[in-house]
Homo-oligomer: A and B are copies of this chain.
């Protein structure tokens, strides 16, 4: 149990190889035999750690969401000025996606593939849904707060969430296409820095209240 002696359990090793494979080819595209041999196990041994393929997939997803949550939560929880909070969300979210490059694809699949899991009410499904909902509603609150304080235009919060997801999760999920579009890997340091800058600037300018006021520090405008 000591992580210094057992740096990773068999279960964690399975999760690691499953995360890599599922990220690349999706749930249906990966077989348990492939996973088992990649983890150095026999096919049947997987069933001693996970009750089935679906549960393994959900465990992978849950771990990915947990890591994102850990990175982004501070930026979302802070009651900082909305524009600064939004910048921090973009930075921390992109940091977490870059640190674990399997995450964007797994998340993207989870978001757009309508889960067709046999038991919709299974505890594993609900755990994943709960984490996702937590992140989304926290970001929703940041946008609404910005609108209420008058530092953002009267944008639709759900639409803004979708745009942010597209600008971050989709972006870093687009593998060959993205690499060809930019002429360099999406994970290259320069490409990551540019992406952060571009997204933050687009949101900065795109969300701010137009008006004749100065484009900086129109803070605290109660009523």
Chain A contacts to B: CB under 8 angstroms: 24-29, 105, 108, 111-116, 132, 136, 153, 155-156, 158-163, 165-167, 170-171, 173-178, 181-182, 194-195, 198-199, 201-208, 210, 215
Contact = CB atoms under 8 A, between A and B. Distances in A.
B167 A162 contact: yes
A158 B195 CA distance: 10
Nearest to A27: B29
Nearest to A133: B180
A112 B105 contact: yes
A140 B150 CA distance: 34
A65 to B, nearest CB: 13
A170 B181 contact: no
Contact of A181 (B105, B158, B182): B158
A145 to B, nearest CB: 18
Q: Which among A105, A161, A174 has the greatest number of chain B C-beta atoms within 10 A?
A: A174
Given A155-B198, A170-B170, A176 B115 contact: yes
Nearest to A116: B25
Contacts of A199: 159, 163
Given A26-B26, A111-B174, A156-B198, 12 more contacts: A26-B28, A27-B29, A28-B28, A28-B29, A108-B108, A160-B198, A162-B167, A162-B174, A163-B199, A166-B166, A167-B167, A204-B206
Contact of A158 (B136, B155, B176, B182): B182
B194 A159 contact: yes
